[in-house]
Amino acid sequence: MTIEVTDRRRRLILDWTLVGIIAACVAAFFDLRSTVHAQTKAFEEMSARVIRIESDAKHAPENTATKADISRLEGRIDQLVNLMLTTQHRK
């Protein structure tokens, strides 16, 4: 009971294999296309947010805090916390 693979069966196996490969390539193409579309849309939204933030920063009043101001304030808070801890520790 041996199974003979005739030329017709071999050709049929090759044809269905090629159909499967082509279907997988088409599915991969559309998956890649949808991924690129989603990433492009996300990039456009992020670019719009960055432009809006930059525009808001340019039109902001001059009395807004800078990163240096915030760093100095954080340093002062750290100094006050250390002072409070040392004075409580001495008591």
What pLDDT digit, counting tens, does each position of 74-88 carry?
A: 999 999 998 888 877
What pLDDT was estimated at residue 30?
Answer: 97
Task: Say how far apart CA 10 and CA 22 lie, in whole Å.
Answer: 18
User: 77-86 contacts: CB < 8 A, separation 24 or more?
Assistant: none
On whether residue 89 sits in a domain, the answer given is no
Residue 53: give the domain boundaries: 7-59
What pLDDT was estimated at residue 41?
Answer: 94
What pLDDT was estimated at residue 89?
Answer: 66
On whether residue 26 sits in a domain, the answer given is yes
The amino acid present at 76, given as its one-letter code, is R
On whether residue 35 sits in a domain, the answer given is yes
Cα angle for residues 16, 19, 20 (degrees, 5° grid): 90
Question: What is the per-residue pLDDT across 29-71, written as a single tens digit (0 to 9) for each?
Answer: 999 999 999 999 999 999 999 999 888 878 767 777 788 889 9
Beta strands per DSSP E along the chain: none
On whether residue 73 sits in a domain, the answer given is no
Q: What share of the chain is helix, strand, coil (3-state, %, to 5)?
A: 85, 0, 15
On whether residue 36 sits in a domain, the answer given is yes
Please state the domain count of the chain.
Answer: 1
What pLDDT was estimated at residue 29?
Answer: 97
